[in-house]
Amino acid sequence: MDSASREQGIALLHVYIQSALKGDKKAYSEILGKLSQLRANDSQEILIILQVLQQNVALIDISQHESWLKQIFFSNFWECPAKVATEISSFGTSLASANSRALEPTLDQLVRNFTPGLNLLKKAGEGGELTEQDLLARKEHVLQLVHASLQKVLQLVPTANSMLLQVLLTKFPHKLHEKRLHALYLENIFRLVESEVGKPLRDDVLLEVVNRLLQVDVDMRWEDIQSLELQEEEHQQRLKQAERDQKGSVVSINGDEDDDDVEALFEMEEMVQQVEAAGGAQRCAFVPSYCLTQPCPRTSGDSDYGHQMQRSLLHLHRWTSKWRPHLGTWIAAQLSHALGG
């Protein structure tokens, strides 16, 4: 198809979509059928449809065009072709800035794509259409897309912070979900609040992270720990085998492998020594000021809660010390205080 024919086709599709937006039921139904193929179709037609919709966000009614929007907003970026995911995120950003009613579903979709989701991870581990290696290969593109879109929404809609906080809190993985989901979600939530536009969310996010870890700690049984360790060992063995098969290096979806408890404690002790040598917990951009003056409970007086806090802080330290060293330093200092240091 030459350039002139392509431009003519785009113009006709533009008119057709506008007709559907204005009430043409036949056109609406046909476009809906196209949108239902977003997960597996990256044809030029699909991309143009999304681009034309973005150009006509002023005509979109959240209630009247709900079935279209469901197909778009419930798309999983980890499953969609990269070009389709990019167009979907651009459409959502434009719609959210033009229509306040679209803000929540836009934020919901972006935060939901912090992780591939439990079902997709399970399917990948069981030899589904997408393998774990496929998800690893898509990770960087998806997360760059998600965070760029979130930053743009927060810049265009300054009042979106309060709604985003609620979405972040409701989208936390369930306490019984596997560790990879928790680790990846934490990685993304910290990445968000460490950005300039995420500053207003920092205090509330840190409180919620510790609270969630306490919930995990309270329900944790020794049998669960052994089962999780076995699952993690099997997962790491599969990754190593894939590395050997491909003769290349593969980065785990949740970052570096966790050290065992003894190694983590040694790392923590070294960090505590660094903090003490520097004269106490170091103030950094991420850590809220009140956290530096409100240490966690010591074990005396409230032994059960204190023990839970110790273990939860250790979990949080292990998850963050390698990829967020400043936060890990503060956690180590808090844990030292909880232990009576």
- pLDDT, average across residues 34-59: 88
Report the alpha-carbon distance of residue 172 to residue 241 in Å, rounded: 31
pLDDT computed for residue 83 by the predictor: 93
pLDDT tens digit string along 315-336? 555 555 544 555 555 555 554 5
The greatest distance separating any two alpha carbons of the chain, rounded to the nearest whole angstrom, comes to: 79
Count of CB atoms situated within 10 Å of the CB of 273 = 12
pTM score above 0.85: no
Residue 57 is classified by DSSP as G
3-state secondary structure of 29: helix
pLDDT tens digit string along 119-129? 888 777 776 67
| 133, amino acid identity | Q
| 248, amino acid identity | G
3 state SS for 274-335: HHHHCCCCCCCCCCCHHHHHCCCCCCCCCHHHHHHHHHHHHHHHHHHCCCCHHHHHHHHHHH
More confident of the two residues 96 and 123 = 96
pLDDT tens digit string along 168-180? 999 988 877 777 8
Chain centre distance of CA 61:
28
pLDDT computed for residue 280 by the predictor: 38
Report the candidate in 161, 205, 164, 159 with the shortest Cα–Cα distance to residue 186: 205
More confident of the two residues 321 and 63 = 63
pLDDT computed for residue 300 by the predictor: 35
Average pLDDT value for the chain: 74
- pLDDT, average across residues 106-123: 90
Count of CB atoms situated within 10 Å of the CB of 116 = 26
The domain locations on the chain are 7-116+132-137, 221-255
More confident of the two residues 43 and 314 = 43
With contact defined as beta carbons under 8 Å apart, do 198 and 155 qualify? no
pLDDT at 210 over 60: yes
**Banded pLDDT at 228 (limits 50, 70, 90):** low
pLDDT at 294 over 90: no
3-state secondary structure of 128: coil
Q: Which two structure tokens, joined as six digits, stand for 3?
A: 């350039």
With contact defined as beta carbons under 8 Å apart, do 57 and 99 qualify? yes
Contacts by 206-215 with C-beta closer than 8 Å and gap 24+?
206/287, 206/288, 206/291, 208/168, 208/169, 208/172, 209/316, 210/309, 210/312, 210/313, 210/316, 212/172, 212/175, 213/312, 213/313, 213/315, 213/316, 214/308, 214/309, 214/312, 215/175
pLDDT at 282 over 90: no
